[in-house]
Structure 1
Amino acid sequence: MKCEKSWAVLCALIGATGVMPVAFSNAQASVVSNKPYLLVAAPRETVARGQRDYGPIAAFLTKVLHHQVVYKHPNGWLTYELWIWKDHADIYFDGPQFGAWRLHHLDQTLGPRIPQPQDWRLYTWKGSSVKNLKDAAAGAMLCAPPVPNFATLWVTSLFPNPERQPYIRNVHGWKRIFKEVADHQCTLGVGPRLTVHYLDPNGQKVTILRRSPHYPNQAFTISRTLPKDVRTAIVNALLSPEGEKAMMRLRKRFAHGRRLVAGHASQYRNVDQSLDAQWGTIYASGIDRYLKQDAKREGFVADQKVAP
């Protein structure tokens, strides 16, 4: 039996039986690979809090899959967006705009999602001269979280002409944004429907200019580089009672303690269009230039070939 040199030992062991080695498929090779599966999430917290919230999920999946799953914390939004474009990780948890983009462009598998919908309110202070979107487009100041926050992307999508958009002042925290608008420090603000209603139940402080559609909420997606049976096992594990326990901190933080539910890709159709104003411009103008502008600040060298 003629064998490659690298197979000499194996051939010696099986030669007496006459059984030839069986070539593994790519899917099988990925199963037996010792490379850990990477779990990542949008960088909305410190490294310590990320490990606290997502580390138990990685440990649970390691036990279920009998394959190491590691949580990896991105060092900033630019890093995280680079990971998305390159499909750097195996399991993702983040906002619906990112999940929808990966479902659309990377053909990923949708996992469990937060059950509550996301809907936003664009508002101004009571008595403001801004009465509609046309008035808001005339250089009004918008208090909003930095992009790529989904609420901010939704507002910018209302103004497709870049020369006719509000000026965005980055403010962290929905309550702080509301206060800035109520105190006339910003003309416009954006926030979740329930938060705005809680802060102004009688509509005495702000006027609603636009209500968003009911968007799906945050969700897990799983890279198509994993075998189909592994992807299915991850989805089923996260939806199990044991998965609920592993996701306790995530559920408390993002779902008010509710259990996550099975997601359907149709619910996320076209949700990634909110990224067009940001990522569409990036692809049109050259992705390398975009990556380099903040790469030094976030401590890594931008890859020259990242567009899918």
Structure 2
Amino acid sequence: MIRSFFSRWFSLALLSVAVTVSQGVQAEDEEALVFSTAPTHSPEKTVQLYTPLVNYLSEVSGQKIAIEPARNYLEYTNNMREGEYDIVFDGPHFVGWRMEMLGHAPLVRLPGAIRIVVVVPESSSVTDIKKLSGKKVCSFASPNMLTMAFLQQFDNPVRQPVMLSVKGFKGLVECLKAGKAEAAVLRDKHWEKMDQAGFKLLYAPERSYPERTISITDEVDEELHEKLTTALLSEEGLAKAAGLLETFKRKNFVAASEDDYDGVGELLDPIWGFQLER
């Protein structure tokens, strides 16, 4: 929701997060849209990466926008469910959930698509993904989208695989190579680039998902929606976003289509508090 930035800033300051006043706060009673993103970086790094773009969007739109980084996913998801964030940059499953539950609309996204693959050792006798029930599987920690898309294949919560959380795609491969698990959940593009010797594909669905996306609350009017979209796709906007785009190994944003997120929010159903109202 739109609210006083200083009230949120004060609570964040109490958490000892070093955020500077470079975000350009004008007055204590000024209302701001709150921008946040998935906590894949420290709060300090998040502010460093996103401040140039957020300040630019504030300037061209005439609407104050303030960055509010989350320290971890617990804080991030709690704030999200409570509608604390107005503009958010994160994965398509969160975007789909916000569209259904909070009335968000997608603005732009990173180019490309996300597809999951499940890989097993070449010697594995497992031929059906359902046979991984009760078996150890190397994956990223939930609510990572790849992990949630994998778990969607197991609708009985007592017959799910045992997920071994690791960090980084190299970590997934090393986890499986070390014999710690029966399978690993990867992204298709990493499977295609890696040395596949000793591994084979178990599961490679056709379904793809849109890349990381910026969405916005329905509390803003269409004019502001259009201003922000245009700014994000402009050359100047891309220049301001250069640091974060480099982080995600992309050169630009592309326009987002609402249809691409249809049903994607259901991936979060296993996470407490994210069950969609049906």
Amino acid at match of 2:268: L
TM-score, normalising length: structure 1: 0.76
Q: Return the letter of the residue paired with 1:240.
A: S
Report if aligned partners of 2:136, 2:162 keep a CA contact under 8 Å in 1: yes
* Residue 115 (structure 1) aligned with residue 147 (structure 2): no
Name whichever structure is richer in helix by fraction: 1
Distance 2:46 2:189 in 1: 26
2:260 is aligned to: 267
Is the contact made by 2:269 and 2:275 (CA closer than 8 Å) also made in structure 1?
Answer: no
| Equivalent of residue 56 in structure 1, options 44, 52, 59 | 52
2:9 corresponds to: none
Distance 1:182 1:127 in 2: 12
Structure 2 distance, partners of 1:205, 1:48, is: 41
* CA–CA distance in structure 2, aligned partners of residues 215 and 68 of structure 1: 31
Percent of pairs with identical residues: 24
Match status 1:74 vs 2:70: yes
Letter in 2 for 1:193: D
Superimposed CA distance per residue, residues 2-41 of structure 1 (whole angstroms, 9 cap, x where no aligned partner): xxxxxxxxxxxxxxxxxxxxxxxxxxxxxxx821221100
CA distance in 2, matches of 1:231, 1:75: 28
TM-score normalised according to structure 2 size: 0.84
**Shift >4 Å, 4+ stretches:** none
Flag structure 2 segments of 5+ consecutive residues without an equivalent.
1-28
Matched residue SS, 1:129: coil
Give the secondary-structure state (helix, strand or coil) at the position aligned to 1:277: coil
Residue of structure 1 in register with 2:20 after alignment: none
- Number of the residue aligned with 1:296: none
8 Å Cα contact 1:113/1:261 also seen in 2: yes
Please give the secondary structure, in 1, of the residue aligned with 2:113.
Answer: coil
Offset from partner CA, 1:113-161 (integer Å, 9 cap, x none): 1111001111111102322123211x21011111100011011101111
Within a 5 Å distance, the mapping from 1:177-216 to structure 2 comes to 177-200=172-195, 203-212=196-205, 213-216=207-210
Tell me if the contact between 1:160 and 1:277 (Cα under 8 Å) persists in the aligned partners: no
- Report the counterpart of residue 250 of structure 2 in structure 1: 257
Q: Are positions 1:230 and 2:224 aligned together?
A: yes
CA shift, 1:183, in A, is 2.2
Change (3 A) 1:108 1:134: closer
How far is 1:277 from its partner?
2.2
Cα distance in 1 for partners of 2:202, 2:94 equals 26
Q: Distance in 1 between matches of 2:71 and 2:43?
A: 8
Cα distance in structure 1, aligned partners of 2:130 and 2:86? 43
**Aligned counterparts of 1:34 and 1:233: Cα–Cα separation in 2:** 20
Q: CA separation in 1, counterparts of 2:98 and 2:135? A: 33
Structure 2 Cα separation of the partners of residues 160 and 197 of structure 1: 29
Shift of 1:167: 0.4
Gaps of 5+ in 1: 1-32, 285-306
User: Structure 1 CA distance, aligned partners of 2:226 and 2:192?
Assistant: 39
Secondary structure (helix, strand or coil) at the match of 1:224 reads coil
Q: CA RMSD in A?
A: 1.8
Name the SS of the counterpart of 1:207 in structure 2: strand
Matches of 1:89 and 1:143, distance apart in 2 = 32
Alpha-carbon distance, 1:283 to partner: 5.2
Which residue number in structure 2 is paired with residue 242 of structure 1?
A: 236
Where 1:147 maps in the other structure, the secondary structure is coil
The one-character-per-residue Cα deviations of 1:77-123 (angstroms, maximum 9, x if unpaired) are 11111122121111100000001111122221211111110011111
Equivalences, count: 248
**Which is strand-richer, 1 or 2?**
2
